Chain A
Amino acid sequence: MGLEQKVPEGILTTTLDSVINWGRANSTWPLLFGLACCAMEMIATGTARHDIARYGSELFRASPRQADLMIVSGRVSNKMAPVIKRIYDQMSAPKWVIAMGICASAGGPFNNYAIIQGVDKIIPVDVYVPGCPPRPESLLYALDKLREKQARESISADRLSQAEEQLAIEEIIPLGA
């Protein structure tokens, strides 16, 4: 939402793209959302020593409407999966997902009845971080990778995802009712 809605049809936005991407890449706010062990390393990344603020991502938002990035930090259980999907739907586009750790990426050591084998079964993932748990440095590297991806994005392509998002919102409105 926001800026790209104001750009009328038929106008080239190549230069705008880079400006907007620059802004987005430097202020990707993660969702304040911890699942398991990996969340501890995510918190460690947020504190002074590793200082995620260098990436403009120190503002962990508790509300999905204010967050751009979901760091799935830990194993996703069958009971938690619908909740994660719901939170993801509630985030406003553009939004990105980092699967932090082997559990979120592929189930990790828990190949059993309780754990979903990778969060990509329920939401699309942009960057996978290996490790159990990944060190804070790995998470920062993942943010680097995410920036590379963000730099290639274009707001005209975002329009599509907006339409999708509208659908998702319509889907969840009856929930509140």
Chain B
Amino acid sequence: MTHFSAMSLLKNAISGHKNWPEQWPDKQPKDEYDVIIVGAGGHGLGAAYYLAKEHGITNVAVIEKGWLGGGNTGRNTTIIRSNYLYDESARLFDHALDLWENLSTELNYNVMYSKRGVMMLAHNVHDVQSFQRHIHANRLNDVDNRWLTPKEAKAFCPPLNISPDARYPVMGAALQQRAGTARHDAVAWGYARAAAKRGVDIIQNCPVISIRRGADGAVEGVETGKGFIKARKVAVSAAGHTSVVMDSAGVRMPLESYPLQALVSEPIKPVFPCVVMSNTVHAYISQSDKGELVIGSGTDQYTSYSQRGGLPLIEHTVAAICEVFPIFNRMRMLRKWGGIVDVTPDRSAILGKTPVRGLYVNCGWGTGGFKATPGAAHTLAWTVAKDEPHPINAPFTLERFTTGRLIDEAAAAAVAH
């Protein structure tokens, strides 16, 4: 595997970029692994990388039913931020943000993390109060977040319509300057390449059909499209399909899977300097480095595994974008798609051990888990390696739905990305 550097780039440029070696080998499964990770999204691949790098566990397979990064990792709108209300969430997402800072160097792969700032618009008194509460809570947790007046918001994002007679008047905004975006595919590819380099097998086009448990109840391995593979530790990181995979191990999950859609416009010159979210009108927008406007909204109303979603939602989202940014009302949209997101009742993730020995789960990231990728992967690897919670993921248990100790970001934010 070549190390990417100015030298290797130059060398390959001279030979017309025809001699780049493969980034990671396409593996067939061995009979047995120490750890199997179900799902090659950013979270699963990242966990494999940290297992190898930080815990010296390299006999690891990441098993993916499609192609790596083809799930929500490759479908999301890449908003990265950490200004969540509760202490538990702030710690987890800020841990991820710390890891994002150096990820490109660490992986020797440019994930294009861009701290362009994420601004959340307040359109009514309730928004103002709730965002200011977030800002105060964030400050106590040493998490970057500050209040902008409408004028300051407009200065930060010139296309914004702050006219007082707008359909959705802007009464202010919360700005996390340290937040931003990253290139989603590069995150999956970077982790895959770095994990493979350390000996992890990445097995694609191989669905995990069920998890096999022994007479003592503990995990024995997984039945897959390519036969049975033995492992005493299995970590499920299958996003929208988590309920299905966990059911096969006899663990019923507090999850519902919904379509979440996004769309992009034709590419245009740089016009939009940051990310803007509006929870109240259910729309958010940024501009990719390719020039496309990247637009998203809330989930469709019904549960589904169809990876599509319906047009009424797109219509609603685009209408809101045109109201808040009239400059875009003649833009043409290029394509739209959907992913399946796994939503928990409190809109916080489930990350840790399960009642089954040797079975771990990382799920429930719903509409907002891309930003958590390095943090979730890093603490999941710890939990799998040591068979105990990491201090940061410890509150995100499955048991909280029995004990009632919810981390209720649902009530705090109404929607979350």
* Chain A partners chain B: no
Give residues in B with beta carbon < 8 Å to A: none
Residue numbers of A with Cβ under 8 A of B are none
